[in-house]
Structure 1
Amino acid sequence: MLDDSLKSQLAGYLQRVTQPVELVASLDEREASVEMRELITEVAALSPLITARFDGDDARRPSFSISRAGADMGVRFAAIPMGHEFTSLVLALLQAGGHPPKLEADVIEQIQSLDGDFAFETYMSLTCHNCPDVVQALNLMAVLNPRIRHVAIDGGLFKAEVDARQIMAVPTVYLNGQPFGSGRMEIGEILAKVDTGNAAREAAKLSTKGVFDVLIIGGGPAGAAAAVYAARKGIKTGIVAERFGGQTLDTLGIENYISVLETQGPKFAAALEAHARHYDVDIMNGQRVEKLEPSLQPGGTTTVTLANGAQLQGRAVILSTGARWRNVNVPGEAEYRNKGVAYCPHCDGPLFKGKKVAVIGGGNSGVEAAIDLAGVVAHVTLIEFAEQLKADAVLVNKLRSLPNVEIHTYAQTTEISGDGQKVNGLRYKDRATGVEHAIELAGVFVQIGLVPNTEWLKGTVELSKYGEIIVDARGATSVPGIFAAGDATTTPYKQIIIAAGEGAKAALSAFDHLIRHGVQG
């Protein structure tokens, strides 16, 4: 099951286990049970503190639990956790074995003090790069609090459950038998939903932060670079973000960031955060900004109001709010989101194995999605609004070589249809003839670009007709003391490396502003 290299790496990690760990498997006659038995046996052989049993009585088979000996930890895998989930397995073993988690003390205390019984179920796929974050967060919560249970379920292994619950996207989380959430979630987001009293406590704590010399809104590459450059000037720097890492958290592979040959989005995002923390940047993650009130006096402070009611102050502010996937905005898209309408082919593609799907969008992302999906699904229909595909020629040639792909250009998607529970088709109009066509399919992947996260800024700073923040060559906006960088701005070419450079520029401009206006604290 594990090759020699993987065994050697795992044995090294397991040296950090300090307390006995028990693996208890519940198996059946399926081939997956044979593989699970082999994996568990090999893992147990790598550490004298890990034992394996195969007499479990859990109804979901095959599955296995991980628990500290003598404790009641609710960590279970209804999966063979390889691929992206192998790290989830390693972390669960270490944490159950007494290795301290990399988590702030107040967050640990919050988890341990949760009042109630929480039974989480996460449906995931082993190819999903967003799923491990959810699995690892809920596993850790189950390790820390005996009233929390969590099972990670491989949707491909438990197809009947996936079909019965009409799950069309991963990760999808249930809590106590009811839908809880879908998509990538960090531990802070999960806690915000289950600990309803925490919002007021968090708001009170944030409101005591004092005035920042530079306050950055948004934690993607632009925001992280701005934070590092500002903090290195020795000034008080804070960064408030909904999701530190931004779009990179949803990016599978990064191969064009100079000096980094290749990496994965979540790993890159973690490195961004680690770099910012190295310079003692005050990171306020999991917070959504709702209002910006620039000072009416020259050299005054800008007030930033968060969704929880907290208010932060900054002598200079950098906006790096990024962008999100653009919607098609046709009937059926919103109704069937995560019920056949998807935006991540890497995450959700395996759920459509053997089925027919469509990809909307003929740029690089759309064509790449169609190529990836063609290796998994039965048939892919690609629909592009323009007269020609806009992707790079090498990608277009590859797409046209695939036997199970059909391409429609100069075509306008008019509706995504469904049966009330899931997608069952798509309608498009031939823009040359005006004739409408209907396609029967199970899924629609939308890949038509990005829209800036700037709606909340209307009337505050000047925006372009596309909603982008208008900036000059120095990253300055229409309001003195407020700067902007990254995909939310008019700067062309939405690339990670460009966003990072613009973030650094905005920080240097903000510092120059503080010096010239004598407002550095």
Structure 2
Amino acid sequence: MLDDSLKSQLAAYLERLREPVQLIATLDEREASAEMRELLQEIAALNPLVEARFDGNDARKPSFQISRKGADMGLRFAAIPMGHEFTSLVLALLQAGGHPPKLEAEVIAQIQALEGDFAFETYMSLTCHNCPDVVQALNLMAVLNPRIRHVAIDGGLFEAEVADRKIMAVPTIFLNGQPFGSGRMEIGEILARIDTGAAARDAAKLAQKDVFDVLIVGGGPAGAAAAVYAARKGIKTGIVAERFGGQTLDTLGIENFISVLETQGPKFAAALEAHARHYDVDIMNGQRVEKLEPALQPGGTSTITLANGAQLRGKTLILSTGARWRNVNVPGEAEYRNKGVAYCPHCDGPLFKGRKVAVIGGGNSGVEAAIDLAGIVEHVSLIEFADALKADAVLVDKLKSLPNVAIHVNAQTTEITGDGQKVTGLRYKDRASGAEHSVELAGVFVQIGLVPNTEWLKGTLELSKYGEIIVDAKGATSLPGIFAAGDATTVPYKQIIIAAGEGAKAALSAFDHLIRHGANG
């Protein structure tokens, strides 16, 4: 199962174990069970503190529990955790073996203090780059609190469960047998939902913070760059974000950030956060901003109000709220989201293996999605509103070479149809002839660009007709002392490297504003 390179890396990691760990497997006659046995035996052979047993009695076969010897930790994989989940396996081994997690002491205490019984089940796929965050968060919670149990389930190994529970997107999480959530979730988001007093405690703590010299809203590349540039000036810098990393968390591969030949989105996002923390930036993650009250005069303070009611103040603000996937806004899209309507082909594509799907959108993201899906599904229909595909020529040529892809241009999606539980098809109109067409499908992947996260700013500062924050050459908005950067603004070309540059520019402009209007005002 493991090549020599992986064995060498894993052996080095296992040197960090402090206490003995047991791998307790429940197997059956399937080939996957043989593979799981081989994997666990190879892991156990790498370190004497790891023991592999094959006398488990779990209902799911194959599966294995990871537990500190003498304990009964509720951490289980109903999967052979390779691919994107190999890191989840390594972390689970280390944490079960007493290696301290990289988590704030107050969050650890919050998890350990949770009362009640929490049985989590996460359905994931090994090709999903959003799934590991959820799996790793819940695994760690199971290590820290004996009343929390978690099993990570590979949907490809347990197809009957996936069909019975009507799961058509990953990650999908159940708590105590009931739907809990879907999509990427970090440990703070999970805690906020199960710890009923967390929001009030969080709000009270945030409300006590002093005025920031530079307060940044949004934690993507623009916000992170702004934070680093501001903090390096020696001024009090804070960054409040709903998800630190922004869109990069949902990006599989990054190959065009100059000097970084190739990386993955979540890894890039972690590097952004680490860089900001290096300069003692006050990072307030998992917080949604709902209101802006600008300063009444130059040198005054602006106030933002969070969803939990807390207010934060800054002598200058930098708005870098980014953007999100644009919806088609046709009947059936909202009703069948995560029931056949999906936005991440890498995450959810394997759930449609051997079936027919559509991709809406003929730009680079849409064509790349169609190419990826064509290697998994039976057939792909690509639907493009314009009269030609807008993707790069090399991608279009690749797409046209695939035998199981049909391209429909000048096609307006009019409805996504379903049977009340899942997607069954799509309707589109030929914009040239007016003819209506129906396509039978199991899934629809929407890839039609981005919409800025600026709804909360309407009526406060000047926005373009597309909802983008209008900025000048220095990143200044229509309000003094308030700057903006990244995909939420009118700056063209929504690229990571451009967002980062604009964030740095906005921070320098904010610093200049503080100098001119009094840094201590």
- 2:295 is the alignment partner of 1:295: yes
Normalising by structure 1, what TM-score?
1.00
Comparing 288-297 with 327-336, greater Cα deviation is found at 288-297
CA deviations on 1:64-115 (whole Å, 9 max, x unpaired) are 0000011121000000000110000000000000000000000000000011
Distance 2:520 2:484 in 1: 19
Distance 1:61 1:289 in 2: 45
Number of the residue aligned with 1:22: 22
SS at match of 1:157: coil
Gaps of 5+ in 1: none
Distance 1:251 1:396 in 2: 21
Letter in 1 for 2:93: L
Distance 2:242 2:97 in 1: 32
Number of the residue aligned with 1:77: 77
Distance 1:455 1:80 in 2: 43
Distance 1:508 1:90 in 2: 41
Question: By how many angstroms is 1:375 displaced?
Answer: 0.3
Alignment of 1:92-491 (within 5 A): 92-491=92-491
Letter in 2 for 1:25: A
- 2:514 is the alignment partner of 1:514: yes
Normalising by structure 2, what TM-score?
1.00
Question: By how many angstroms is 1:295 displaced?
Answer: 1.5
Distance 2:296 2:500 in 1: 30
Letter in 1 for 2:245: G
Distance 2:320 2:344 in 1: 23
Letter in 1 for 2:105: A
Distance 1:251 1:8 in 2: 29
Question: By how many angstroms is 1:299 displaced?
Answer: 1.1
Distance 2:50 2:309 in 1: 47
Question: By how many angstroms is 1:196 displaced?
Answer: 1.3
Letter in 2 for 1:484: A
CA deviations on 1:198-247 (whole Å, 9 max, x unpaired) are 00000000001110000000000000000000000000000000000000
Distance 2:47 2:139 in 1: 21
Distance 2:166 2:359 in 1: 21
Letter in 2 for 1:279: Y
Distance 2:24 2:18 in 1: 19
Distance 1:132 1:512 in 2: 41
Question: By how many angstroms is 1:519 displaced?
Answer: 3.4
Distance 1:72 1:107 in 2: 22
Distance 2:244 2:295 in 1: 27
Letter in 2 for 1:83: G
CA deviations on 1:452-494 (whole Å, 9 max, x unpaired) are 0000000111000000000000000000000000000000000
Gaps of 5+ in 2: none
Distance 2:315 2:480 in 1: 11
Question: By how many angstroms is 1:297 displaced?
Answer: 2.3
Letter in 2 for 1:442: A
Q: How many residues align?
A: 521
Distance 1:137 1:520 in 2: 41
RMSD between aligned residues: 0.5
Distance 1:2 1:393 in 2: 38
SS at match of 2:59: coil
Distance 2:274 2:9 in 1: 23
SS at match of 2:399: helix
Distance 1:187 1:18 in 2: 24
Distance 1:97 1:462 in 2: 54
Question: By how many angstroms is 1:133 displaced?
Answer: 0.6
Distance 1:129 1:299 in 2: 44
Distance 1:258 1:425 in 2: 42
Distance 1:133 1:105 in 2: 19
SS at match of 1:337: coil
Distance 2:145 2:72 in 1: 9
Question: By how many angstroms is 1:142 displaced?
Answer: 0.1
SS at match of 2:337: coil
Question: By how many angstroms is 1:410 displaced?
Answer: 0.2
Question: By how many angstroms is 1:252 displaced?
Answer: 0.1
Identity %: 87
SS at match of 2:309: coil
Number of the residue aligned with 2:63: 63
Distance 2:280 2:479 in 1: 28
SS at match of 1:42: helix
Letter in 1 for 2:259: S
Distance 1:393 1:2 in 2: 38
Letter in 2 for 1:76: R
SS at match of 2:461: coil
Number of the residue aligned with 2:49: 49
Distance 1:216 1:267 in 2: 22
Letter in 2 for 1:197: G
Distance 1:130 1:295 in 2: 39
CA deviations on 1:261-315 (whole Å, 9 max, x unpaired) are 0000000000000000000000000000000001212211001100000000000
Distance 2:187 2:292 in 1: 27
Give runs of ≥4 in structure 1 deviating > 3 Å: none
Letter in 1 for 2:396: V
Question: By how many angstroms is 1:146 displaced?
Answer: 0.1
Question: By how many angstroms is 1:520 displaced?
Answer: 3.6
CA deviations on 1:347-383 (whole Å, 9 max, x unpaired) are 0000000000000000000000000000000000000
SS at match of 1:493: coil
Letter in 1 for 2:201: R
Distance 2:198 2:441 in 1: 43
Question: By how many angstroms is 1:333 displaced?
Answer: 0.1
